[in-house]
Structure 1
Amino acid sequence: MATPSTLCCAILLFLFPLQFMATTTPSCPGDCEPIDADDNDRFHFAQNLEFLEAEFFLHGALGKGLDAFEPELAKGGPPPIGGRRANLDYLTRRIIEEFGYQEIGHNREIVRRTGGIPRPLIDISSQNFAKLFDKAAGYNLDPPFDPYEDPIKYMLAVYAIPYVGLNGYVGTTPCLKRFSSKQLVAGLLGVEAGQDAVTREWLYKKGDEKVEPYDITVVEFTNMISGLRNELGKCGIKDEGLIVPKELGAENRTTSNVLSADPNSLSYPRTPQEILRIVYSTGNEHRPGGFFPKGANGRIAREYLYNDQLRGL
């Protein structure tokens, strides 16, 4: 029969590992954290994409951006380039308007909890999207792609944006140290995933339609965009269009791909350098361009920039 002292030791030995597990944070995988960064740095990096989404959605739905609602969130950063009201039907406009308001809330909460960053220079002009879609197609579309022209083109442009932010939140979650940070990223990720799902479902319903005036269907455009992001990201397949080969479908049983996910139907993660390669459209985290012609803001993004004149911003 166990003595009281023996029993006490056994209980302590049992409880010690539980206490250890409860008070330690899983380490971040090396390929997920190329530079040292604290939780605030990670949210500041993510805020670049929240700014991009806010400006594109608000301008597309309402013809005005963040400065018309809560200009203080921009912290003196420059207004975006080329945003304008899109030619949308009533339902699509309501969806995008809601997305825009959600992004105001995301930026507000990041600023409240972490101090935030100045809004970087953001290019949401039709010319920038035209270059992106030319690169995705592999040739110059004629006429140039204009996301503000009609609902299908606008939603294809939306397809090109929020999913990268979703990947970023999935990738950064294991690296966060504070419980409050994990709580915040869970809230942000839930809405970003919802926006992506709504966008993909909207496009899925129109999958076989030709995007006028091009001889390219909606599904084909999504495959092109996803393929380009994989190419720019340089880390394998982490992005998939609306129709995929069965070997990429859920449980290898379907070609339908309303939600993009890995072989176990888990969301794909992306690291900061992958995201910069994609949103810069250069395939190089050190060379800005694309949606951020002067580079993204915050310590993580700035440490990647090759231009010394930009490092101090």
Structure 2
Amino acid sequence: MTDTEDQLIERLEARADRRNERREFFRTALGAGAVAAVGAAAVAVGTSASAQATSETDILNFALNLEYLEAQFYSYAVFGTGLPNSQLTPGSASTTTQGTVTGGRQVSFSDPLVAQYAREIAGDETQHVAFLRSQLGTVAVAQPAIDIGSTATSAFTVAARAAGLATNASGAVDNVNGTFDPYANDQNFLLAAFLFEDVGVTAYKGAASLLTTKAYIDAAAGILAAEAYHASIIRTVLYSKGLATPSLRTAAGAISDVRDKLDGTSDDDQGIASAVVANSQFAALNGLTASNIVPTGLDGIAYGRSTGNVLNIVYLNSLAVAKGGFFPNGLNGTIVTSTAN
């Protein structure tokens, strides 16, 4: 057997071990209560994701909903205010009903680099909203209701409890009554951003095969590239800070596990360290934990998610539902239902 074959077998075995570890993680560490808490974040409906229309306009409006969420989160975190109302209204009076934003406030960044990165990403996300609205014109959907708060019932807290990251007033881990405040400090902000950024990348990757108009494909590719840069910034900073504070790498891995649990049985999502699939032969130089800044498969290609699987994550529900999590009243548009996993 050649060295190449040995390496391939080792990678496949490592992938199988990682899948088993994740299943055990959710069976024992999180427990049924945490998974149930995620499932309780939305109400089930009778329609299936596969029955949803997938015209190019539908896809762009689906992307616009996600950009509203990201832009509002970063805008509040950096500036303490949300997007201007002129960027939230429907393209025409009959398109959709505009929702409000719950929560959100400015982060008192302690690291000037994190603050600058956040400011840059906030600007890009705001421009993504403006660009998609300009492309859609009168058929652009309004911003739906968005939850980016930090209360005991907020979407961030529900996700944090499932990941084992919620804490009580004394700072102790409490995944029953604890909360998660993404605006409390640099570390919490980075973890909250990590929850969103990888989802945005996989959403645009998954939508690529659904577009046929050259101008739309070019626009989606451009936004995908920007989202991938954003994700790499967040992953790199978390990994770097995780060298001094290993719990950050562990926390990012737990968030990855939650996303993986929500979006189906395939083991695609990856944390920022250790579980390197495609490049395991380059692991651990100079005694450092191997980085995983670019999550790919054995072919070195980033993976994508279907619209239904993206909704599983932002709704925080592995069932077929039409609302929940960060979108308490669902998305505006035609594509609104997650996949039953």
Structure number with larger C-alpha Rg:
1
CA distance in 1, matches of 2:87, 2:323: 23
Give the C-alpha shift of residue 108 in structure 1: 1.0
User: What is residue 56 of structure 2 aligned with on the other side?
Assistant: 39
Match of 1:4 in 2: none
Q: Does 1:189 align with 2:189?
A: no
What is the distance in 1 between the residues matched to 2:316 and 2:54? 24
How far did 1:126 drift?
1.2
Number of residues of Structure 1 aligned to a counterpart in Structure 2:
265
Equivalent residue, structure 2, for 1:83: 104
Deviation at 1:270?
0.1
Q: Among the aligned pairs, what percent are the same residue?
A: 28
Partner of 1:7: none
Amino acid at match of 1:147: P
What are the Cα deviations for residues 18-65 of structure 1, in whole angstroms up to 9, with x where unaligned?
Answer: xxxxxxxxxxxxxx9764311111010011110011000010011001
Contact kept in structure 2, 1:238 and 1:269, CA below 8 Å: no
Do the aligned partners of 2:109 and 2:186 also contact (CA within 8 Å) in 1?
yes
Match of 1:145 among 180, 188, 202: 180
1:250 to 279, 304, 307: 279
Alignment deviations for residues 177-210 of structure 1 (CA, whole Å, 9 cap, x no partner):
1001101101111110110011111101011444
One-letter code of the match for 1:137? G
Structure 1: gaps spanning 5 or more residues:
1-31, 211-215, 306-313
Structure 1's consecutive aligned runs of 4 or more residues displaced over 4 angstroms after TM superposition are none
Q: Does 1:136 align with 2:155?
A: no
Range with greater deviation from structure 2 (90-99 or 53-62): 90-99
1:21 alignment partner in structure 2: none
Structure 1 residues 118 and 285: CA distance shift in structure 2, 3 A: farther
Task: Give the SS at the match of 1:197.
Answer: helix
Which residue number corresponds to residue 48 of structure 1? 65
Partner residue in 2 for 1:234: 264
**2:143 is the alignment partner of 1:108:** no
Task: Say which SS state the counterpart of residue 141 (structure 2) adopts.
Answer: coil
- The reply to whether residue 120 of structure 1 matches residue 144 of structure 2 is yes
Aligned 8 A contact 1:223 1:242 in 2: yes
CA distance in 2, matches of 1:164, 1:93: 22
Write the mapping of 1:163-242 to structure 2, written as runs, cut at 5 A.
Answer: 163-210=198-245, 217-242=247-272
Name the stretch that deviates more: 92-101 or 176-185: 92-101
Structure 1 pair 33/39, CA: closer, same or farther in 2 (3 Å)? farther
Quote the residue 1:271 is aligned against. 306
Shift of 1:123: 0.4
Give 2:221's aligned amino acid.
Answer: A
| 2:336 is equivalent to residue 298 of structure 1 | no
The answer to whether the Cα contact below 8 Å between 2:311 and 2:338 also exists between their aligned partners in 1 is: no
In structure 2, distance between residues paired with 1:84 and 1:110: 25
Structure-2 separation of matches of 1:120 and 1:252: 45
Shift of 1:219: 0.7
What TM-score, normalized by structure 1, do the two folds share?
0.79
Greater length-normalized contact order (CA 8 Å, ≥ 6 residues apart): 2
Aligned to 2:115: 93
Partners of 2:159 and 2:243 in 1: CA distance: 22
Letter of the 2:87 counterpart: L
Amino acid at match of 2:124: Q
Q: CA deviation at 1:105?
A: 1.0
